[in-house]
Amino acid sequence: MTTLKNYPPFLLEKSGKPSVPVVLASPHSGTFYPERLFHLTDLKLTDFQQYEDTAVDRLFSFAPAMGIPLLSAVYGRVWVDLNRHPLELDPTMFSDSIPSQSQTDSPRVKNGFGVIARQLNANKLIYRKKLSFAVEQERLTDVHLPYHAALESLIKKNLAVFGKSLLIDLHSMPLLPPERLTNGKMPDFVLGTGDGAACAPQIAIAAAELLRDAGFSVTINLPYSGAYTTLHYGRPALHSHALQIETGRHLYWDCKHYLPSENFNTLWRKLSLFMERFLRVLPTLPL
């Protein structure tokens, strides 16, 4: 999809009143790119698709039926990265000035992966020339800010109704290079707690045990511990917890053909059982 501009900034699926203090969010599964992007770059849609957490929201599409709201991105991550602070901006990308309070020293910005990414990787710059921030800031006002306003509203509703909340931030990961493997093995899932800052450790431990019982290999905070969303909304002292879940694409996605693999439906069923069991354990955990 590349032609229409005015797509909504997010999709929110829910059924009735929330029955559990949990919110699922998928900030990188968006697949829509405005036509203007293709006038600013020499890259192709297939290049951008490699940067998506493709279909990870569909893997958890059972959530609303369980009383869990599911908030999903619409726009592709290349257009605007919803898992970044809105001021993680790279001044070298723009021909005009950016806000003075911009977080230009962020490690993600320095590596080219700010809220508006400079590159897909070290060999693939996205834009053929500098952008105008006066124009491109609409990516923040029209997409980033509404998405996070919706997410914050869901969390606040949980805190008001239940006195506690758990945000599960959904991502997917490609096959990792050898230097990023743990004990030389590709994990099926990586659970991120912001190195303990974003949620009670018992939450991640319980989730990891349930996933391992289902036959998956799981690490915690290695090599991903969580980024902006996890650290921004994870406030355990205020009973607001955030857990990032990275699902290996090798479990469900055919990257070569950009299609669900033959294992997609099996993983969907296993994850629905995992969530059902996790919700039974949740009342015993320190939220």
Widest pairwise Cα distance in the chain: 54
pLDDT reported for residue 279: 97
pLDDT digits (tens, 9 = 90+) for 242-257: 999 999 999 999 999 9
> Strands 189-192 and 240-248: what pairing?
antiparallel
> Strands 218-220 and 240-248: what pairing?
unpaired
pLDDT reported for residue 1: 40
In whole angstroms, give the CA distance from residue 218 to residue 220. Answer: 7
Q: Taking the model in full, what pTM does it have?
A: 0.95
CA atoms within 13 Å, Cβ hemisphere of 262: 0
Phi, psi (5° rounding) for residue 17? Answer: -75, 145
pLDDT reported for residue 5: 59
3-state secondary structure the chain: CCCCCCCCCEEEECCCCCCCCEEEEECCCCCECCCCHHHHECCCHHHHHCCCCCCHHHHCCCHHHHCCCEEEECECCCCCCCCCCCCCCCHHHECCCCCCCCCCCCHHHHCCCCCCCCEEECCEECECCCECHHHHCHHHHHHHHHHHHHHHHHHHHHHHHHCCEEEEEEEEECCCCHHHCECCECCCEEEECCCCCCCCHHHHHHHHHHHHHCCCCEEECCCCCCCHHHHHHCEHHHCEEEEEEEEEHHHCEECCCCEECCCHHHHHHHHHHHHHHHHHHHHHCCC
pLDDT reported for residue 145: 98
CA atoms within 13 Å, Cβ hemisphere of 249: 21
The architecture (CATH level 2) of 10-80+136-284 comes to 3-Layer(aba) Sandwich (3.40)
Q: Are the beta carbons of 69 and 23 closer than 8 angstroms?
A: yes
**Which residues of the chain are under the pLDDT cut of 70?**
1-5
